[in-house]
A and B are shown apart, each in its own frame.
Chain A
Amino acid sequence: MAEKKWMPRWFYQLASPRWCYQITGKLLPIFAVAALILLVGGTAWALIYAPADYQQGNSFRIIYIHVPSAILAQSCYMMMAVAGAIGLIWKMKVADMVAKACAPIGASIAILALATGAIWGKPTWGAWWVWDARLTSMLILLFLYLGVIALNSAIESEQTAAQATAVLALVGLVNIPIIKYSVDWWNTLHQPATFTLTERPAMAMEMWLPLLVMVIGFYCFFAVVMMLRLRNEIIQRERRSSWVRELISG
């Protein structure tokens, strides 16, 4: 192909499962150590050293799990849809595998966000579940993830499954702002000002910094799990290629 290359070199290299396997092998320990340090350090800082909230006492500390997981669940969907689009446009196998690896992680993180939200809601709002706009849109995000996983597992051919899920993820991506907007709007219509506590006071720096550490730690953790799943998927799909055989036998 004499076509002019208009993407950087690494983008084309990413298309090679073998190269991707090697580079993730190098990156994996770095991210694993970073995730371990950030998560352990961040948790200790958040649970022991950060000051208690003047309204909610110590129960607010679940924010250090809840907020990072909620943020991560959303960016994971974004990543899945973008990877799916790359797979559709450039027919890049690795992108398909990334998209496939994202879905179960994103769904678990969304469940974590919902569960921590429920645990936090009990002492704060007095109920495990309220039809708050944010909770509802997170629940719908979980449904979108579950749809993607269900579709992917229902189609036998790997390539067709990857393409079909990519289309679904992209349709979901277009819909997420509409869903979010309509749920926000619906909530203000049905339940005006029930949860004044959701409007937290601006956070103090000593509370906010551990949160930042936890968010970065969650992203590193996501990268680790993602790469593990991706490597697994690469080995599984490329099992007939010579380099995988060498890897396994040697």
Chain B
Amino acid sequence: MTNHPAEKIAVRDLKVDGPFWGALKRDLLLSYRRKSDLINPLIFFLMVATLFPLGVSPDSVFLAEVAPGVVWVAALLATLLSMDSLFRSDFEDGTLEQLLLSPQPLFMVVLAKVLAHWMLTGLPLTLMAPLLGVMLFLPADGMSGLVLSLLLGTPTLSLVGAIGAALTVGLRKGGVLISLLVLPLYIPVLIFGTASIQAALTGLPVGGYMAILGAMLALGLIMAPLAISAALRISVSG
């Protein structure tokens, strides 16, 4: 936002005692001490996937066809659900204000917080996805595509979702609003994520899809922290 000298990012920021690792360690430790928050998105993920066979049809052929979409939509909603709490407790106890005032580059701190969020939701979701795949009769050919696409796609979901979380952190009822802001932006990731699994199922090469998911992740990694930082400054000052 400003030409503050501390905003320049140097190699030292990535060192073990730098702001990046400091913020990452802090967030991981905090959520380790509140374990129920860790498990809730996973249970939600499992439940949403359970609703589909109950609501639509338990037929294995049908389920195998919709499995990529169902798993992806469930992962997307589970990420979204956990998004609201990303900055909220820090905002409420004043930590966020201190982070904004500190001479450390906000870019790195924000990136660390998003990475911690992904490690605690996106990564477990990815690891749990094969279980859901089995429950929904996803053929074994699609499993690698499922895991790989979620591995590349969920960090983008965390990055984009964090923009919405940062914009709504000052609001009392941010939960529903985040979904309104963020869901349209999730659409490209959803499209390429499910398409890659379908390609894997039909025996087509998945490299291209993974490259596009990776490109979106790369773009998100450089652009999203800027938007998140700006949004946090606006929310905290307002």
Contact = CB atoms under 8 A, between A and B. Distances in A.
Real complex partners, A and B? yes
Nearest to B215: A178
Interface stretch (B39-47, B91-99, B102-110, B226-234): B226-234
Contact of A178 (B171, B216, B231): B216
Interface in A136-192: 140, 143-144, 146-147, 150-151, 154-155, 157, 159-161, 163-164, 167-168, 170-172, 174-175, 178-179, 181-183, 185-186, 189
Counting chain A CB atoms within 10 Å of each CB, which of B160, B187, B216 scores highest?
Answer: B187
Contacts of A150: 177, 180-181
A160 B235 CA distance: 7
A175 B188 CA distance: 9
Interface in B138-170: 160, 163, 167-168, 170
A189 B234 contact: no
Q: Is the contact region of chain A dominated by helix, strand, or loop, or is it mixed?
A: helix
Contacts of A178: 188, 216
Contacts of A164: 167, 231, 234-235, 238
Given A164-B235, A186-B195, A175 B185 contact: yes
B184 interface: yes
Interface in A84-108: 88
Interface residues of B, number: 27
Contact of B187 (A146, A159, A167, A182): A182
Contacts of A172: 184-185
A185 B184 CA distance: 17
Counting chain B CB atoms within 10 Å of each CB, which of A146, A164, A172 scores highest?
Answer: A164
Contact of A143 (B160, B177, B184, B227): B184
Contacts of B234: 160, 163-164, 167
B6 interface: no
B195 A179 contact: no
Interface string A66-82: 00000000000000000
The 7 closest A-B CB pairs, nearest first, are A160-B238, A182-B188, A143-B184, A163-B234, A147-B181, A186-B191, A182-B191
7 contacts: A147-B181, A154-B177, A160-B170, A163-B234, A164-B231, A168-B163, A172-B184
